[in-house]
Amino acid sequence: MVMHSTCSRTCSKQITVLSYLRFIVLLMNCSSARAFSSSVAATFLFRRSPRPTSTSLVPEEVLIASSSSIRLSMSTESEPVAKRQKIQGVSAGEEVPLYRGEGLFAVNKPLEWTSNDVVSYIRGILERDARSRGAKVVKPGRRRKKGVVKVGHGGTLDPLASGVLVIGVGSGTKELQTFLSGSKRYRAGVKLGFETETLDMEGNVTDTKPFDHVSLESIQHCIPNSFTGEIMQVPPIYSALRKNGKKLYEEARAGKTASELGIEARKVHIYDLKLRPTNEKGEGLPCFGLDVECGGGTYIRSLVRDLGRELDTCATMTSLVRTQQAQFLLDDTLDKDDLNADAIYAAIDKTNAVLRTGLKGE
């Protein structure tokens, strides 16, 4: 009788243990149960189930291992699949890199965007990409360095200009200074007979003069004599240059004139200047075009202004496209609609490959 009672209790415990093992399998296969916290699952298992004896068919280690599997399954399932896939290959405890690549590439700056607008737009794209991969990202600040996505440009383009804008990402920002002083190519549209306060189509007209005496021949004659090589040029008052600690365009908006501010002429270098008989719209005189290759610090607006005055009339720049900056050509740039993290990092990889090839060839 005693033996029968002992066997019954042992069998009962074994059946109970097997029942909870089946429950474990259900938990691992049921998608809704995976949302439970691991602590709740563990509490249910070990508080409700009898502690198996040494005569049990299933040892205690099996239950512990099973509960650990449930916790692992739950924690893995709660993490977004895309995020897990993107950070595969990163060892446990290893910090996810902020960038997928670092270096230089070029964009086609949209009209009416400032160069800093482009930089901010690209930084936002790369910050979102870094977060999606699990990288720690912080906003730029004076004392913050780690975790800040570094993006900069290699030479300002006016809002009414478009074309090649070199962008540096990460360590590539340290190379941008080279592009600020390097050679650039532009295509400008020009119209004779008037001049504006901004020297382009954005400002109010400040002067008008007759232009009937001007011909393509007279323009062509004027170009090599006065506007190639090293020349002196007065920057436009509507520019980001500083005078007495203030930006010139701020002084201009306050009502001051170029003569009142005493803006000094600077040396700039015009490597090549070619006349085009029509502007960007195919219009002839009083409209025409210019292809310019120049050094850093050159203002095409000022060049057009000075050319008009040399022709004994006025002239204003009607359009401007930067067609080349160093090795970056307009045809190789990314348009705004094509800007995404994959395209940006592919462009950086392409530039790095070209630069490596160039170094090997030297």
Yes or no: say if 110 and 159 are a contact pair by the CB < 8 Å rule: no
d(CA 325, CA 176) in angstroms, rounded, equals 11
State the catalytic residue, choosing from 158, 306, 335, 342: 158
Q: Are 232 and 267 contacting, i.e. CB atoms less than 8 angstroms apart?
A: yes
342: annotated active-site residue: no
CB 186 within 8 A of CB 322: yes
- Let me know: does 38 contact 75? Beta carbons within 8 Å: yes
CA proximity to 150, closest of 158, 159, 135, 138: 138
Question: Whole-angstrom Cα distance, residue 298 to residue 177?
Answer: 16
First CA to last CA across the chain, in angstroms?
A: 98
Burial track 240-261 (b if 16+ CB lie within 10 A, e otherwise): eeebeeeebeebbeeeeebeee
Active site residues per annotation: 158
